[in-house]
């Protein structure tokens, strides 16, 4: 966990606002859920990773959990609070979640995410919409170097079905592949009593990644309708993402599972060349809502705002809009009316007491990121900033600041 | 300016200066890297080895750190280090050299189980506190793990610990220090690891390198 000061907090809010605008542009409505969830309710998600979370007791002895992600609370909300409304539901959130972890760059026990869920739609068009919104949100934040790597967990699951891998062997395969431990995976697979062909096919599939040509390569490995359907769905999704204008952003990785067990269809991760870890991800989870009592398909994703911020700094910083602003000496006492008058015109005014030295006023303006200092001088005003010093009448000050923010 | 490690077309590989070093340099030479300077210059830390690939040489325990953060795209490191640290890196291939075993050993002529029955807790000195803790937890044995940075075999001789968990290749050091192996905890060999983002954004280069390393190591 960490404290966030200016200007970091302002930059994170800028990113949040940029993304909020994109989500709203696709008709997603924002939801807020409680920071604490009842453990007994959250456990319905059946997500083993949630075992590692912060817990406390309420006054009746119920175990409460600091929410470890936002997808499960929103699935709960959709299955209960929205039960009487017809799907699809388009919901988004900007919220902190909590998971105990050893902190390092881009990974903290409290993390802040922007995300959305499209609930009640099982189409590839829904998958494509989620991917396209992710791209558009990153574009809106000004991120240049990013790719989204996409897989389909049902492709691999169908392969295991057709090879007859079940029970403990299947779990061992999934756990090795989720960690991308190829040595362990090789050992697990050589211990399975399956055909040599199937063994090779499993090893081939997990290293299949690259551009859209991978979908063609993968056709040779298809054994059974489930795998073929998964590839077709990926191809259709890719086509639709292309119609949104983002085909060039998508990579394919057929061994991608992600660490959450609730994914059932496409899964994806947002990668930036400047970062050693994904800055976001998501996927389709058609089984999760049913666990909260109201079955339905859903797809969603989340982007870590802290990670996105790091990626943008690696690319040279954020392109923040310049807002006109000034520190006004006397704004707290002798010049209150001028301060209010400037604010009415949309200018940010940092009020400073009239007896503060000019040098101190300049320092305060610089610390607050304001371009101008306004100092009363014999009935007129000295305006410092914008590349010079001018003495102006009272009614000229606002116009000058606005003309060159 | 330092070039981004994830620059397309370039690959930065972390290799360990330690027990695995000579075997690693031989292997890199066999796959066609220009390793002359890497072999001869112990002070230098980064080496250009051709085809846009850079080697960085680090302490063995630091290799997974460089790779996890993406400061290196890939690396070569012993399985013992991976087991101990549990870092979030992808383990892509077993390169099979540098084989050793992680063992639990106690002094000859003493019965560790009998001592444990009387005291309830035994002290174990090790460079691998996480591996040791996991192992004894699974056994249901109560131990006090004492972390040391080196010369682990000294600990039982000066009554710092009743036993040790350490790496052994031939067992010679154990014998010289009058220690008897009581259990094999794990087997370790050199592994090829990759950063999880590089694994996707530089898929072709990393797969190609993994393939060549595996081929050369099986010769």
**pLDDT band at residue B5 under the 50/70/90 scheme:** very low
pLDDT reported for residue A48: 80
**pLDDT band at residue B110 under the 50/70/90 scheme:** confident
Mean pLDDT score of chain A, rounded to an integer? 93
Residue with more model confidence, A47 or B126: B126
pLDDT reported for residue B2: 40
Torsion on CA atoms B26, B29, B31, B33, rounded to nearest 10: 140
Q: How far apart are the first and last CA of chain B?
A: 40
Q: Do B201 and A274 touch (CB under 8 A)?
A: no
Quick check: B12 contacting A, CB < 8 Å?
Answer: no
**Predicted confidence (pLDDT) at residue A46 exceeds the cutoff of 90:** no
The residue of chain A with its CA nearest to that of B90 is A180
Q: What is the mean pLDDT of residues A210-218?
A: 91
Quick check: B86 contacting A, CB < 8 Å?
Answer: no
Which of chain A's residues have a Cβ under 8 Å away from the Cβ of B90? Answer: 179-182
Which residue from B8, B93, B197 is facing A277, i.e. has the nearest CB? B197
Contact A359, A373 (CB under 8 A): no
Rounded Cα distance between B48 and B44, Å, is: 11
> Measured between CA atoms, how close is B56 to chain A, in angstroms?
17
Q: Do A181 and B6 touch (CB under 8 A)?
A: no
The residue assigned the tokens 């590692």 is A52
The residue of chain A with its CA nearest to that of B10 is A273
**pLDDT band at residue A258 under the 50/70/90 scheme:** confident
- What percentage of chain A reaches a pLDDT higher than 90? 83
Contact A150, A253 (CB under 8 A): yes
pLDDT reported for residue A3: 92
Contact B216, B28 (CB under 8 A): no
**Predicted confidence (pLDDT) at residue B6 exceeds the cutoff of 70:** no
Contact A177, A156 (CB under 8 A): yes
Full 3-state SS string of chain A: CCCCCCCHHHHHHHHHHHHHHHHHHCCCEECCCCCEEEHHHHHHHCCHHHHCCCEEECCCCCEEEECCCCHHHHHHHHHHCCCCCCCCEEEEEEEEEECCCCCECCECCEEEEEEEEEECCCCHHHHHHHHHHHHHHHHHHCCCCCEEEEEEHHHHHHHHHHHCCCHHHHHHHHHHHHCCEHHHHHHHHHCCCCCHHHHHHHHHHHCCEECCHHHHHHHCCCCCHHHHHHHHHHHHHHHHHHHHCCHHHEEEECCCCCCCCCCCCEEEEEECCCCCCCCEEEEECCCHHHHCCCCCCEEEEEEEHHHHHHHHHHCCCCCCCCCCEEEEECCCCCCHHHHHHHHHCCCEEEEECCCCCHHHHHHHHHHCCCCEEEEEECCEEEEEECCEEEEECHHHHHHHHHHCC
- Test the A interface: residue of B1, B2, B6 with most A CBs within 10 Å: B6
Is the pTM value of this prediction over 0.90? no
Angle (CA) A292-A294-A295 rounded to 5° is 100
Q: Do B203 and A210 touch (CB under 8 A)?
A: yes
The residue of chain A with its CA nearest to that of B87 is A179
pLDDT reported for residue B208: 94
Domains parsed from chain A with CATH numbers:
6-314 (3.30.930.10), 325-403 (3.40.50.800)
Quick check: B121 contacting A, CB < 8 Å?
Answer: no
State which H helix or E strand residue B117 sits in: helix B112-119
> Measured between CA atoms, how close is A159 to chain B, in angstroms?
21
User: Coil, strand, or helix at residue B187?
Assistant: strand
Q: Do B69 and A105 touch (CB under 8 A)?
A: yes
Residue pairs spanning A and B at CB distance below 8 A: 67
**Predicted confidence (pLDDT) at residue A273 exceeds the cutoff of 90:** no
Segment A328-334 long-range contacts (CB within 8 Å, at least 24 positions apart): A328/A352, A328/A374, A329/A353, A329/A354, A329/A356, A329/A358, A329/A361, A329/A373, A329/A374, A329/A375, A329/A376, A330/A354, A330/A376, A334/A376
Domains parsed from chain B with CATH numbers:
11-98+189-218 (3.40.190.10), 100-187 (3.40.190.10)
Residue with more model confidence, A144 or B43: A144
Torsion on CA atoms A391, A395, A396, A398, rounded to nearest 10: 110
**Predicted confidence (pLDDT) at residue A94 exceeds the cutoff of 90:** yes
**Predicted confidence (pLDDT) at residue B111 exceeds the cutoff of 80:** no
> Measured between CA atoms, how close is B155 to chain A, in angstroms?
30
pLDDT in tens, A58-80: 999 999 999 999 999 999 999 99
pLDDT in tens, A225-249: 899 999 999 999 999 999 999 999 9
By mean pLDDT, which of A53-62, A292-301, B1-10 is the weakest? Answer: B1-10
- Test the B interface: residue of A276, A277, A314 with most B CBs within 10 Å: A276
Structure tokens at A310: 């790091």
> Measured between CA atoms, how close is B149 to chain A, in angstroms?
22
pLDDT reported for residue B7: 54
Rounded Cα distance between B214 and B192, Å, is: 9
Q: Do A147 and B93 touch (CB under 8 A)?
A: no
Contact B63, B10 (CB under 8 A): no
Q: Do B69 and A104 touch (CB under 8 A)?
A: yes
CA A52 and chain centroid, separation: 21
Contact A224, A155 (CB under 8 A): no
pLDDT reported for residue A105: 83
Q: Do A273 and B201 touch (CB under 8 A)?
A: yes
pLDDT reported for residue B1: 33
**Predicted confidence (pLDDT) at residue B3 exceeds the cutoff of 50:** no
Residue A22 backbone zone (phi > 0: left; psi -120 to 50: alpha; other: beta): alpha
CB atoms within 10 A of CB A349: 23
pLDDT reported for residue B120: 82
Q: Do B196 and A184 touch (CB under 8 A)?
A: no
pLDDT in tens, A302-331: 999 999 999 999 999 898 888 889 999 999
pLDDT in tens, A347-405: 999 999 999 999 999 999 998 889 999 999 999 999 999 889 999 999 999 999 998 88
Q: Do A209 and B203 touch (CB under 8 A)?
A: yes
Q: What is the mean pLDDT of residues A166-174?
A: 92
**Predicted confidence (pLDDT) at residue B8 exceeds the cutoff of 70:** no
Q: Do B4 and A180 touch (CB under 8 A)?
A: no
> Measured between CA atoms, how close is B69 to chain A, in angstroms?
5
Quick check: A188 contacting B, CB < 8 Å?
Answer: no
Which of chain A's residues have a Cβ under 8 Å away from the Cβ of B197? Answer: 271-273, 275-278
- What percentage of chain B reaches a pLDDT higher than 70? 96
pLDDT reported for residue A104: 82
Quick check: B6 contacting A, CB < 8 Å?
Answer: yes
């Amino acid at each position: 966990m960490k404290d966030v000061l200016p200007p970091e907090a302002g930059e994170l809010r800028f990113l949040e606002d940029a993304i909020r605008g994109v989500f709203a542009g696709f008709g997603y409505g924002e939801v807020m859920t409680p920071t604490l969830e009842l453990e007994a309710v959250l456990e319905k998600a059946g997500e083993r990773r949630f075992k590692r979370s912060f817990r406390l007791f309420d006054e009746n002895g119920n175990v409460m959990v600091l929410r470890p992600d936002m997808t499960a609370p929103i699935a709960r909300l959709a299955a209960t609070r929205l039960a009487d409304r017809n799907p699809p539901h388009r919901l988004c959130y900007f919220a902190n979640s909590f998971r105990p972890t050893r902190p390092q760059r881009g990974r903290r026990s409290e993390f802040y995410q922007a995300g959305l869920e499209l609930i009640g739609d099982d189409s590839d068009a829904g998958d494509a919409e989620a991917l396209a919104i992710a791209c558009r949100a990153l574009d809106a934040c000004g991120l240049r170097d990013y790719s989204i790597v996409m897989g389909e967990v049902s492709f691999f699951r169908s392969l295991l079905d057709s090879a007859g891998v079940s029970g403990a062997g299947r779990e061992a395969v999934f756990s090795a592949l989720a960690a991308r431990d190829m040595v362990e995976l090789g050992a697990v697979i050589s211990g399975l009593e399956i055909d040599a062909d199937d063994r090779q096919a499993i090893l081939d599939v997990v290293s299949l990644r690259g551009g859209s040509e991978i979908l063609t390569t993968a056709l040779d490995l298809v054994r059974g309708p489930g795998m073929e359907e998964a590839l077709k769905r990926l191809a259709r999704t890719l086509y639709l993402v292309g119609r949104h204008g983002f085909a060039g952003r998508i990579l394919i990785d057929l061994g991608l599972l992600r660490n959450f067990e609730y994914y059932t269809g496409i899964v994806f991760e947002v990668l930036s060349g400047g970062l050693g870890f994904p800055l976001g991800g998501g996927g389709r989870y058609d089984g999760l809502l049913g666990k909260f009592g109201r079955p339905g398909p859903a797809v969603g994703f989340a982007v870590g705002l802290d990670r996105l911020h790091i990626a943008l700094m690696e690319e040279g910083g954020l392109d923040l809009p310049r807002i006109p602003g000034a520190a006004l000496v006397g704004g707290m006492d002798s010049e209150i009316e001028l301060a209010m008058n400037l604010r009415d015109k949309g200018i940010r005014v940092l009020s400073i007491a009239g007896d503060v030295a000019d040098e101190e006023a300049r320092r305060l303006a610089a610390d607050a990121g304001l371009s101008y200092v306004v100092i009363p001088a014999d009935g007129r005003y000295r305006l410092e900033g914008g590349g010079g010093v001018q003495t102006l009448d009272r009614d000229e000050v606002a116009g000058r600041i606005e003309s060159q923010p | 300016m330092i070039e981004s490690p994830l620059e397309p077309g370039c690959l930065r590989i972390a290799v360990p200066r330690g027990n695995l070093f000579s075997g690693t340099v031989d292997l890199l030479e066999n796959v066609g890297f220009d390793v002359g300077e890497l072999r001869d210059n112990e002070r230098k830390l980064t080496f250009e080895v051709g085809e846009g690939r850079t080697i960085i040489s680090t302490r063995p325990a630091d290799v997974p750190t460089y790779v996890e953060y993406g400061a290196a795209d890939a690396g070569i490191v012993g399985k013992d280090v991976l087991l101990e640290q549990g870092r979030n890196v992808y383990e892509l291939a077993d390169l099979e050299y540098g084989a050793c075993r992680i063992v639990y050993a106690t002094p000859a002529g003493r019965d560790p189980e009998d001592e444990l029955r009387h005291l309830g807790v035994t002290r174990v000195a090790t460079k691998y506190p996480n591996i040791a803790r996991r192992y004894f937890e699974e056994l249901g044995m109560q131990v006090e793990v004492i972390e040391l940075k080196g010369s682990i075999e000294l600990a039982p001789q000066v009554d710092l610990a009743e036993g040790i968990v350490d790496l052994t290749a031939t067992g010679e050091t154990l014998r010289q220090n009058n220690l008897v192996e009581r259990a094999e905890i794990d087997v370790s060999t050199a592994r090829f690891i990759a950063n999880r983002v590089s694994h996707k954004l530089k898929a072709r280069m990393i797969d190609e390198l993994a393939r060549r390393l595996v081929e050369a190591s099986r010769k």
